[in-house]
Amino acid sequence: MKDQFYAYIQNLQDQIVAGLEAVDGTAKFREDLWKRPEGGGGRTRVIENGPEGSGVFEKGGVNISAVHGKLPETMQKMFGVGEADFFACGLSLVIHPKSPMVPTVHANWRYFEMYDEAGNVIQQWFGGGQDLTPYYLFEEDAIHFHQTCKTACDKHNTEFYPKYKKQCDSYFWNAHRNEARGLGGLFFDYCKANDEMSMDDWYNFVTEVGNSFLEAYVPIVERRKNLSYTPEQRTWQEIRRGRYVEFNLVHDKGTLFGLKTNGRIESILMSLPPHVQWVYDHHPEVGSAEEKLIDVLANPREWI
């Protein structure tokens, strides 16, 4: 399973990079290969601006990694186990467009194994999801993104979309701000073999969601990338990006896992946007488009 899934994410990385370069039109991804001293490594691909800032994407990364070795003590406590070996691989992406009219997007699909002293697999699971973080609310974009997620889920189980949509709203919640990071999507974790789903079934589901990513995001970028915007709207985008940073550094389990397993710091913090503002006690104008977004973030909506 680990070889099968790692081959899949290598191919998916190629597909997503090609799709994003096509919609950007000018910028290209650069590639870094890296190795983890304790075992494994990864392939980081990053896009930044374009020639003279002409690109659609100000900063983004589409990264894959496969790491293995002894489970660190901090992770042993998290999983409630003693000394063990582990293997983890996944694709993680975050795209920060330059225009505040184009939403930020995040996605991740991952697989984990843990072994006993004899090398037998004692635990294995899949996790992942994809979610949208706009700066201005276009309801048709939210509906398109969620409908694409639902279509992928429904091919496997009609209960998956409402379940994983709810988990996404719950997970990407900035508790210290009492608001969602964005408009959600899907979030699933610890997907293990059970009476209804084998590991092969989970593989088919997770790859279905992964294959839906470009369909979920690219049409939104195409619709919004040429809209004009003001300096004030750009400032609002940078203030909202601050909330994105807060979530990733305070709450995100993936960031935590990378930091505690001696992951590559540049790849882990690739998710942070290049230009951010923290304005003291900022509140949007009453009745404004900015306030409309805040209202939706404070009260997650059913989009389908």
Catalytic residues, by residue number, are 106
> With left for phi above 0 and alpha for psi between -120 and 50, is residue 53 left, alpha or beta?
left
Close Cβ partners of 126 (under 8 Å, ≥ 6 residues apart):
5, 109, 110, 111, 112, 188, 191, 199, 202, 203, 205, 206
Close Cβ partners of 11 (under 8 Å, ≥ 6 residues apart):
none
Tokens describing residue 294: 């805040």
Provide the CA 67 distance to its chain's centre, in angstroms: 19
Cross-strand pairs, 191: 126
Helix, strand or coil, per DSSP, at residue 47: strand
Q: What is the DSSP letter of 285?
A: P
CA-closest candidate to residue 214, choices 126, 95, 304, 100? 95
Query: How far separated are the first and last CA of the chain, in Å rounded?
Result: 33
CB 146 within 8 A of CB 221: no
> With left for phi above 0 and alpha for psi between -120 and 50, is residue 28 left, alpha or beta?
beta
Provide the CA 160 distance to its chain's centre, in angstroms: 18
